[in-house]
Amino acid sequence: MSLFEEYLALGQWLSEDQSLAIYKYLSKTSAAKYVSDSKALRKYSSLESHIANGSIRYTLTSNVLEYQVRKKDEKEWSDCIRTLKLLPFGILNKRRMANFFAQAELDVIQNYPLPGKNEENEHSYTINRYPYYTWSYFADGHGKIVGLFKKLTHNDDPLLARLLAS
């Protein structure tokens, strides 16, 4: 079993460092999938994806991308979880959409993990206030310029290297 597969079963028990490493892992390893997903989303305005024990439905309406989730065995979709307002320039949106997809998949992994040895508590859907792709996440309340500097100087951690190697 790879380290990534182990993380898929941890869910709410993932540490902050593990979550950030998974986000970066998804961004790097699923880049081609995210490009094709963004093309399909632009063409059809809706797209479904599956990861861990959850499903994601992306919708694109009037240059606003949003996603909803559900557990695999449920029929009802949640309310909108996150939104991303796309820019009028298509080139910039490709990377932004890929980051959005990676964050959405991480959110689902944290909330709907694969069955494992850890007990899964019933809880509401939880997400980070600031997604990992924003400067605000790295700023810790000290302003976006500080967040930009910290994001640019943040080193890839050993967890990401272990994920990529497994």
Q: Look-up: residue for tokens 């540490």?
A: 15
Instruction: Kindly state the tokens that stand for 162.
Output: 């272990």
What pLDDT, on a 0 to 100 scale, did the predictor assign at position 71?
A: 94
What pLDDT, on a 0 to 100 scale, did the predictor assign at position 142?
A: 67
CA pseudo-torsion sign 23, 28, 30, 34: positive
Q: Percentage helix, strand, coil, to 5, in the chain?
A: 50, 15, 35
Distance CA 62, CA 86 (A): 9
What pLDDT, on a 0 to 100 scale, did the predictor assign at position 125?
A: 82
Question: Considering all CA atoms of the chain, what is the largest pairwise distance in Å, rounded to the nearest integer?
Answer: 46
What pLDDT, on a 0 to 100 scale, did the predictor assign at position 147?
A: 63
What pLDDT, on a 0 to 100 scale, did the predictor assign at position 85?
A: 96
pLDDT along the chain (166 residues), means of 10: 88 88 94 96 96 96 96 94 90 92 96 81 76 72 66 70 83
pTM reported for the whole predicted model: 0.88
Distance CA 124, CA 126 (A): 6
What pLDDT, on a 0 to 100 scale, did the predictor assign at position 149?
A: 61
Q: In this structure, are residues 104 and 82 in contact, taking their beta carbons and an 8 Å threshold?
A: yes
